[in-house]
């Protein structure tokens, strides 16, 4: 179906889907490419705003407000494309295309025992992240569901090397209910990498976890939680590196490259050249063509 036959609603759906599929760190690139195809500035701006909001939540896009890291997710959405930061007590909109905050407003919070626990857990988590991640960010949020209070801890680190044709993201999310004696921690670790030089290779790996923690006091819970995150992420990293090594040694070699056929037969290059009526001179042209033949044979 050609672009001119699509209805406006169909265009909106296609644009939003393509933008949401953009790998982490590549949303603006995908938007710019689509602008060249669609040629409708108003339509692209509106869909870019909607898709950008979802992209931020999906990949925990990090911001800095008053020197503190803020990770955007659906847990700190407060409606009307707005996010909320517990540290600065501000709500705001974030324009991913312009990389700037907009419509910043103060937003009060209820200071109770859960808020103090959130602060203590955040301090313990920061110590772990600063010790294990080159440029890591973390955040701890509060959420109340059916009169039950939960803490949501988010971790993010990325390396976007577009000039070198690859981008990578590591993020994890940990949720536990504020209980007096025992609490269950539910976690999810997610890794995505995109390599796009010569090939278009996407890797997405995730793992879901469930563990229990004893609750004695706030300090003990915060330290135990940070140790739990460290232990589980270290295990995941070790398994991930082992899996990628095996993938590199076996699967990728078979998928991306054909094996060189072993015929045990002497190749008469002179006859091949004669059959192709290849001109031997000038020598430069002969060498280039020979390399081409060899490359096609090996690959």
User: Quick one: tokens of 275?
Assistant: 């059959």
The whole-number average pLDDT for the span 284-291 is 32
Give pTM, 2 decimals. 0.78
Q: How confident is the model at residue 299 (pLDDT cuts 50, 70, 90)?
A: very low
Instruction: Report the pLDDT value the prediction gives residue 114, as an integer from 0 to 100.
Output: 87
Instruction: Report the pLDDT value the prediction gives residue 266, as an integer from 0 to 100.
Output: 61
The whole-number average pLDDT for the span 130-144 is 92
The conformation of residue 199, written as its DSSP 8-state character, comes to S
Domain 113-255, CATH among 3.40.109.10, 3.40.1370.10, 3.90.1150.210, 2.60.40.10: 3.90.1150.210
Phi and psi dihedrals of 73, rounded to 5? -155, 175
For residues 101 and 93, the answer to whether their CB atoms sit within 8 Å is yes
Task: Return the exposure string of 41-60: e unless at least 16 CB atoms fall within 10 Å of the residue's CB, then b.
Answer: eeebeebbeebbbebbbbbb
Residues 66 and 108: their CA atoms lie apart, in Å, by 17
Helix ranges, 171-267 (H): 218-246, 252-256
Instruction: Report the pLDDT value the prediction gives residue 1, as an integer from 0 to 100.
Output: 45
The whole-number average pLDDT for the span 173-181 is 92
Is the pLDDT reported for residue 169 higher than 80? Answer: yes
Q: Are strands 148-161 and 182-195 parallel, antiparallel or unpaired?
A: unpaired
- List the domain boundaries for the chain: 8-106, 113-255
Which range, of 96-100, 239-243, 271-275, 294-298, averages the lowest pLDDT?
294-298
Q: How confident is the model at residue 251 (pLDDT cuts 50, 70, 90)?
A: low
Closest CA to 125 of 20, 262, 226: 226
Report pLDDT digits (tens) over 41-94: 888 988 999 999 999 999 999 999 888 889 999 999 988 889 999 888 899 999
Domain 8-106, CATH among 3.90.1280.10, 3.30.1490.20, 3.30.1140.60, 3.40.1710.10: 3.30.1140.60
Q: How confident is the model at residue 267 (pLDDT cuts 50, 70, 90)?
A: low
More confident residue, 255 or 292: 255
Q: CATH topology of 8-106 equal to that of 113-255? A: no
User: Quick one: tokens of 294?
Assistant: 């060899």
Other CB atoms closer than 10 Å to residue 86's CB: what's the count? 19
Instruction: Report the pLDDT value the prediction gives residue 79, as an integer from 0 to 100.
Output: 81
The whole-number average pLDDT for the span 181-202 is 90
Instruction: Report the pLDDT value the prediction gives residue 281, as an integer from 0 to 100.
Output: 39
Residues 172 and 202: their CA atoms lie apart, in Å, by 19
Residues 174 and 154: their CA atoms lie apart, in Å, by 6
| H or E element, residue 287 | helix 283-298
């Amino acid at each position: 179906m050609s672009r001119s036959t699509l209805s406006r609603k169909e265009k909106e759906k296609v644009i939003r889907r393509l933008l949401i599929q953009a790998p982490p760190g590549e949303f603006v690139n995908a938007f710019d490419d689509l602008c060249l195809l669609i040629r409708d500035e108003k339509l692209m701006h509106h869909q870019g705003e909607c898709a950008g909001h979802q992209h931020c939540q999906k990949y925990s896009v990090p911001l800095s407000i008053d020197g503190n890291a803020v990770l955007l997710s659906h847990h700190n959405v407060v409606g009307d494309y707005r996010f909320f930061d517990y540290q600065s007590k501000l709500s705001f909109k974030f324009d991913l295309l312009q990389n700037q905050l907009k419509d910043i407003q103060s937003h009060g919070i209820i200071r109770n025992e859960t808020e103090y626990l959130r602060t203590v857990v955040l301090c313990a988590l920061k110590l772990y992240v600063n010790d294990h991640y080159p440029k890591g960010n973390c955040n701890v949020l509060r959420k109340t569901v059916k009169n039950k209070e939960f803490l949501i801890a988010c971790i993010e680190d990325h390396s976007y090397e577009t000039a070198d044709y690859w981008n990578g993201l590591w993020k994890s999310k940990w949720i536990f209910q504020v209980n007096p004696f025992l609490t269950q921690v539910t976690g999810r670790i997610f890794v995505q990498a995109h390599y796009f030089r010569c090939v278009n290779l996407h890797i997405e790996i995730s793992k879901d976890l469930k563990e229990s923690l004893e609750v004695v006091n706030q300090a003990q819970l915060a330290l135990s939680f940070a140790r739990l995150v460290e232990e589980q992420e270290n295990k995941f990293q070790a398994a991930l590196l082992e899996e990628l090594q095996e993938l590199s040694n076996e699967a990728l070699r078979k998928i991306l490259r054909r094996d060189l056929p072993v015929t045990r037969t002497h190749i008469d290059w002179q006859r091949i050249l004669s059959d192709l009526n290849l001109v031997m001179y000038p020598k430069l042209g002969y060498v280039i063509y020979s390399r081409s033949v060899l490359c096609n044979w090996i690959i």
